[in-house]
Amino acid sequence: MNDQGKPTIVVKRITKGGGGHHGGAWKIAYADFVTAMMAFFLLMWLLGSTSRGDQTGMTMDVHSPLKITMPGGSGSGDSSNVLKGAGTDPTKKTGQVKRGDVEAKKATVSLNSGQRYKESAEETQFKSLRRRIDESLETRQALRQLKRQVLVDVTTKGLRIQLVDAENRPMFSLAQAELKLYTRELLQEIGAILHGVPNRVALAGHTDARPYSSGERGYSNWELSIDRANAARRELIAGGMDEAKVLRVVGLSSTVSLNANDPNDPVNRRISIIVLNKRAEDEFEQSHRASDPEVASSAATDRLPAQPPEQAVLLAKETGDANR
């Protein structure tokens, strides 16, 4: 106690140190370490997902920055670089394309556009041709009853016109190549229509599966089918179609049935007229220009137009005329 009789109060303060394992500085160091590891793994992932060519391009850009800025220089302006350059194609996400690539692409697009235009023109022509055939069947009284026996569709080879038999209205006399009168009128009408188109045509004769009594050794469905195809060819020409339009005449017997479930169905007895598109015509001509005799004979169903059809009958299956 002091003189006044009051007690003396002593305050002791304990000061703790900031170092050692009791501090929080290690947390900052650990966070820096984790951040560095994340950046490292991100870099490794980017390198692993980038092609070797892209890596080479990036390396060249870093070591030779002036090269890509010079006129005609390569680097970030190449399509092989992942960096978006400042060339003529700023929409290219994986880098600019070279001028040669752009010109080649334009040439390809131009070629494809020309091909599409040609195909589109043929499609329009085939639609018009089909409409004219339908109109003829509707307007001519003698042909109106045959409307159900004329099948018109578009195949990969062109516009196909098929004249099929009916049970009570055959196109030919029984087991003969003699045309009925109404079949002649129909073929002549089609010949007049085909005269106005530039495309060439191919004809094929088909029969049912009923065999001749003599079998395959004598006059058979093979001979019958080609004779009927030739008879149809003559009537098309009589109707006004230029004979030079005929590219081939084939006889397929009963190998390609319209009704495969019933080989004896009358609809299998038919004449197929295909107005060839440009592609099919070129393929046929190229097959005959081949120097290899085996390649040329692969189209054994075909007949050279310069030869009389009666003297150049080549019989075989024609897989391209298969019905869908």
| Chain segment 55-80, per-residue pLDDT in tens | 666 666 666 655 545 555 554 444 44
Give the C-alpha separation, 302 to 312, whole Å: 9
Residues 6+ apart with CB under 8 A from 261: none
Beta strand residue intervals within the chain, DSSP E: 150-154, 158-164, 201-206, 246-251, 270-276
Contact in structure between 172 and 180 (CB atoms under 8 Å): yes
Whether pTM exceeds 0.95: no
- pLDDT for the residue 223: 94
Instruction: Tell me phi and psi for residue 17, to 5 degrees.
Output: -80, 155
Residues 6+ apart with CB under 8 A from 58: 50, 81, 82, 83
Give the C-alpha separation, 29 to 34, whole Å: 9
Q: Which residues does the chain have with pLDDT short of 50? A: 68, 75-86, 291-324
Q: Which two tokens stand for residue 4?
A: 């006044």
- pLDDT for the residue 42: 87
Domain 126-319's class? alpha beta
Give the C-alpha separation, 161 to 273, whole Å: 5
- pLDDT for the residue 301: 40
- pLDDT for the residue 221: 93
Q: Which two tokens stand for residue 309?
A: 């059809």
Q: How far is CA 196 from CA 124, 189, 281, in A?
A: 14, 12, 18
Residue ranges of the domains in the chain?
A: 126-319
Q: Is 105 left (phi over 0), alpha (psi -120 to 50) or beta?
A: alpha
- pLDDT for the residue 290: 64
Provide the 3-class DSSP secondary structure of residue 130: helix
